A and B are shown apart, each in its own frame.
Chain A
Amino acid sequence: SQTIHQWPATLVQPVGSPLSLECTVEGTSNPNLYWYRQAAGRGLQLLFYSVGIGQISSEVPQNLSASRPQDRQFILSSKKLLLSDSGFYLCAWINWGTGELFFGEGSRLTVL
């Protein structure tokens, strides 16, 4: 069965510091991968998605970036965090048979 892992689960970072969140998927090959962000009390905002190695589509302009160095690895990064980057970050992959998104357990980022 497919599983998706995210880390770290929680982090507190100062404004201006760098960020790296990692996501890996097991049990499937060539998955479409997604990064969503959920601000406190808000819905899910799609940040990036990737259909293959090195292929990244950005949905919103911001100071975040994403990379896909391997088939089942998806990384979210920032060179300098802003207060507005605080939120719950979710990695997901899509089952094309049903269109269902499967989410990792999330990474909660607090920028101070």
Chain B
Amino acid sequence: QKEVEQNSGPLSVPEGAIASLNCTYSDRGSQSFFWYRQYSGKSPELIMFIYSNGDKEDGRFTAQLNKASQYVSLLIRDSQPSDSATYLCAVRYGNKLVFGAGTILRVKS
């Protein structure tokens, strides 16, 4: 059973702070990892993907991958109220993506 675990939250941060979202996965053979953002009532949209150990930065977003610990995280710097959403971690297994249950992020202005 391929599992992807996330803390459901909600995670509340003040505007301008750093939000840290975490995800663990069960299969050491996993190679591709994705973060999606989903606004209420909408379909998910990709924020970032990461394949290699270490950090990957894109604007205010940084994805971090540690394959030895089977851990992937997403940092959001200078959090804005518009970042309030559910963040879904996904792991690729063969030709399928398995999703975690998502973490609700609330950015308070």
Contact = CB atoms under 8 A, between A and B. Distances in A.
B11 to A, nearest CB: 15
Contacts of B42: 105-106
B95 A100 contact: no
Interface range on chain B: under 10, 10 to 19, 20 to 34, or 35 or more? 20 to 34
A34 B44 CA distance: 14
A106 B38 CA distance: 12
Contacts of A49: 95-96
Given A99-B49, A100-B49, A94 B90 contact: no
B29 to A, nearest CB: 14
Interface string A82-112: 0000000010001000111101111010000
Interface of A: 32, 34, 36, 42-44, 46, 49, 51, 59, 90, 94, 98-101, 103-106, 108
